[in-house]
Amino acid sequence: PEPPPAEFNYAEHLFQRNRGRAGKIAYTDDHGDLGYGELEQRARRLAAALRALGVRREERVLLLMHDCSDWPVSFLGALYAGVVPVCVNTLLTPDDYAHMLEHSRAQAALVSESLLPTLQAAMDKGRHELGAILVSRPAGPLPDGARSLEATIAAHEPLAAPARTLADEPAFWLYSSGSTGRPKGTVHSHANPYWCTALFAEPVLGMREDDKVFSAAKLFFAYGMGNALLFPLAAGASVVLMAERPTPEACFRRLTEQQPTIFCGAPTGYAGLLASPGLPPRDAVALRLCTSAGEALPRDIGERFTAHFGCEIIDGIGSTEMLHIFLSNRPGDVRYGTTGKPVDGYELELRGEDGRPVPDGEIGDLYIRGPSSAIMYWHNREKTRDTFLGAWTRSGDKYSRDPDGYYVYAGRSDDMLKVSGQYVSPFSVEATLVLHPDVLEAAVIGVPDPDGLIRTKAFVVLKDGRRGDAGLEAELKALVKQHLAPHCYPRSFAFVDELPKTATGKIQRFRLRQQESE
Ligand code: 3SK
């Protein structure tokens, strides 16, 4: 694809693409529909309001909102005005938001009413003052200093023209959490979403104007933002947004009542859907395509989902740093148990400990070269230097490539174990454990044995009503020995009620390691 022009505003780019479909529904949320024409008008009114409130070009605003159509209005309104939205997870603590306010120096906040007390608690903890607080969908009177987003939008005429932003300048931030330290402010340009759409959404997913998309992953995650904002708006498609937690029941309701054609989830979510007694029959949904990311999709889950719904899950991997997916299966060419092949336009390398490419079949660290990589981590030179290495980005994931060119996930770099001098991928042991009919989920870490040698330990969540005992442990050991190399089977087990996870549903093995060493 052609690169975007040097002067490029991503919000204006999306509006231009949709000027012929003003009456078409862009968003259906828990309160109703919003057409494409209204989306543009509301975003441009908000852009004018931000200017009137004194927010200047390049300044940041905090976007702390549950999924609803005010989210894309706020995001695109800010971009249109040349203001930089800092899109944050709605599940964090006042401490986290206090850090994010100080770190981003946000001049204003756009916030859901139910999150306002948390934001206020964050403001009380920190030293950074917000110039304006705009509240989405307030049900009653607002405290001093906060105003209604709706009334603010209504009080302004649409901004006449977009800010003359450059393709390469900061457009928005996402916070990326690693296994240690504070989340990092990952700065993306106006060009980056353009590239993810041109390289992934159009040629790989083939998202179309007649699609209706429903993403269980929320808009503040890079994955959710691509699924439910960047890609469908570029295609002129419609989107279903849901504010509540993506429980199986909540997802089933949208899948059956709204009839989306594309569903975007994560492996744990798919496992939950398949295990739920409310699983709707195939003919109750209209799915033509599903996607998965966040962590590798176990083969068994993909196969069972396809057997039930007759629809493939396109498993891929992306990152907050690359904005979206750079390695993926393809519709019609899905090989479950692998993450597919590199997306055209991205170059991938698997490097060994000496920094040189490893041969097929060997595990290496994944590096990516492609046009959608973030500009930097804000105010963090050390981590920026560590991750963004010239044209290459270090992903922190380990992979091997099979002789047919498909990539097989081997875990996070920092989760990998070396047992008896050999790599053990916790992911492959976990994927084997979940083949047992009693097992819902599993996480594997390395723990030192009395000799100080690393041995694998499995934390296992059982399905409702199942009991963990010595008999089951023996069965699980035998299962792993049957599928994987002898050094891989867990020497010990803990049967637990749940696993520690990030807000995106990734298992936090480092928490289990901390727990073990206490
Ligand atoms: O976790 C992933 O695979 C992912 C995919 C798309 C965008 C962002 C992320 C982290």
Where does the pLDDT of residue 294 fall: very low under 50, low under 70, confident under 90, or very high at 90 and above? Answer: confident
pLDDT exceeds cutoff 60 at 180: no
User: Residue 141's pLDDT is what?
Assistant: 95
pLDDT exceeds cutoff 80 at 107: yes
- Whose tokens are 């993450």? That residue is 339
pLDDT exceeds cutoff 70 at 365: yes
Please state which of the ranges 22-36, 219-233, 247-261, 295-309 shows the lowest mean pLDDT. 295-309
- Whose tokens are 């200093």? That residue is 145
Ligand 1 pocket check for 265: Cβ under 6 Å: no
Other C-beta atoms closer than 10 Å to the C-beta of 151 total 13
Better pLDDT: 291 or 268: 291
Q: What is the pLDDT of residues 206-220, one digit of tens each?
A: 999 999 999 999 999
Helices 10-17, 36-52: inter-axial angle, 10-degree rounding: 150
Q: Which of 197, 268, 320 to mutate to test the pocket of ligand 1 (most atoms within 8 A of CB)?
A: 320
| DSSP 8-state class, residue 375 | S
Ligand 1 pocket check for 219: Cβ under 6 Å: no
* pTM, to two decimals: 0.89
Other C-beta atoms closer than 10 Å to the C-beta of 52 total 13
- Output the average pLDDT for the chain: 94
Contact criterion met (CB below 8 Å) for 414 and 179: yes
Contact criterion met (CB below 8 Å) for 433 and 460: yes
Residue 167 three-state SS? coil
Distance CA 259, CA 285 (A): 6
Q: Is 461 left (phi over 0), alpha (psi -120 to 50) or beta?
A: beta
Q: Which of 324, 327, 329, 502 to mutate to test the pocket of ligand 1 (most atoms within 8 A of CB)?
A: 324
Distance CA 163, CA 57 (A): 8
Q: Are strands 132-136 and 108-112 parallel, antiparallel or unpaired?
A: parallel
Handedness of CA 359, 360, 361, 365 (dihedral sign): positive
- Whose tokens are 């875990």? That residue is 411
Atom 4 (ligand 1) nearest CA: 318
Contact criterion met (CB below 8 Å) for 466 and 496: no
User: Residue 29's pLDDT is what?
Assistant: 98
Structure tokens belonging to residue 81: 């005005």
Which is nearest to 50 in space by CA: 62, 36, 34, 39? 62
Mean pLDDT score, 52-75 = 98
Distance CA 223, CA 320 (A): 8
For ligand 1, the distance from its centroid to the CA atom of residue 331, given in whole angstroms, is: 18
For ligand 1, the distance from its centroid to the CA atom of residue 319, given in whole angstroms, is: 4
pLDDT exceeds cutoff 80 at 503: no
Ligand 1 pocket check for 291: Cβ under 6 Å: no
pLDDT exceeds cutoff 60 at 331: yes
Which is nearest to 228 in space by CA: 18, 22, 26, 502? 26
Please state which of the ranges 72-81, 107-116, 124-133, 409-418 shows the lowest mean pLDDT. 409-418
- The distance of Cα 128 from the centroid of its chain, to the nearest Å, equals 28
User: Residue 185's pLDDT is what?
Assistant: 97
Atom 5 (ligand 1) nearest CA: 318
Ligand 1 pocket check for 320: Cβ under 6 Å: yes
| DSSP 8-state class, residue 436 | S
Side by side, the strands of the sheet bearing 313-318 are 32-35, 25-29, 238-240, 212-215, 262-265, 289-292, 313-318, 325-328, 341-342
- Whose tokens are 């089977």? That residue is 489
pLDDT exceeds cutoff 80 at 372: yes
Q: What is the pLDDT of residues 226-242, one digit of tens each?
A: 999 999 999 999 999 99
Q: What is the pLDDT of residues 441-475, one digit of tens each?
A: 999 999 988 877 788 999 999 998 899 999 999 99
Ligand 1 pocket check for 319: Cβ under 6 Å: yes
Contact criterion met (CB below 8 Å) for 213 and 232: yes
Mean pLDDT score, 481-505 = 89
Residue 424 three-state SS? strand
Structure tokens belonging to residue 354: 């000496």
Length of the chain: 518
Distance CA 472, CA 90 (A): 39
Residue 467 three-state SS? coil
User: Residue 25's pLDDT is what?
Assistant: 98
Ligand 1 pocket check for 318: Cβ under 6 Å: yes
- The distance of Cα 140 from the centroid of its chain, to the nearest Å, equals 33
The ipTM assigned to this model is 0.98
Q: Which atom of ligand 1 is nearest to 316's Cα?
A: 3
pLDDT exceeds cutoff 80 at 177: no
Distance CA 17, CA 25 (A): 14
Element containing residue 147 per DSSP (H, E): strand 146-148
Ligand 1 pocket check for 294: Cβ under 6 Å: yes
Start-to-end Cα distance in the chain: 53
Residue 506 three-state SS? coil
User: Residue 453's pLDDT is what?
Assistant: 78
Distance CA 216, CA 69 (A): 15
Contact criterion met (CB below 8 Å) for 287 and 258: no
Atom 10 (ligand 1) nearest CA: 319
Q: Which atom of ligand 1 is nearest to 221's Cα?
A: 8
Mean pLDDT score, 159-174 = 98
Mean pLDDT score, 46-70 = 98
Residue 15 three-state SS? helix
Ligand 1 pocket check for 223: Cβ under 6 Å: yes
Distance CA 95, CA 114 (A): 17
pLDDT exceeds cutoff 70 at 181: no
CA angle at 469 for the pair 465 and 471, rounded to the nearest 5°: 110
Please state which of the ranges 91-100, 345-354, 355-364 shows the lowest mean pLDDT. 91-100
Q: How far is CA 227 from CA 92, 102, 126, 224, in A?
A: 22, 29, 33, 5
Ligand 1 pocket check for 293: Cβ under 6 Å: yes
Ligand 1 pocket check for 174: Cβ under 6 Å: no
Phi, psi of 418 (to 5 degrees): -115, 115
Distance CA 461, CA 63 (A): 35
User: Residue 448's pLDDT is what?
Assistant: 84
Ligand 1 pocket check for 317: Cβ under 6 Å: yes
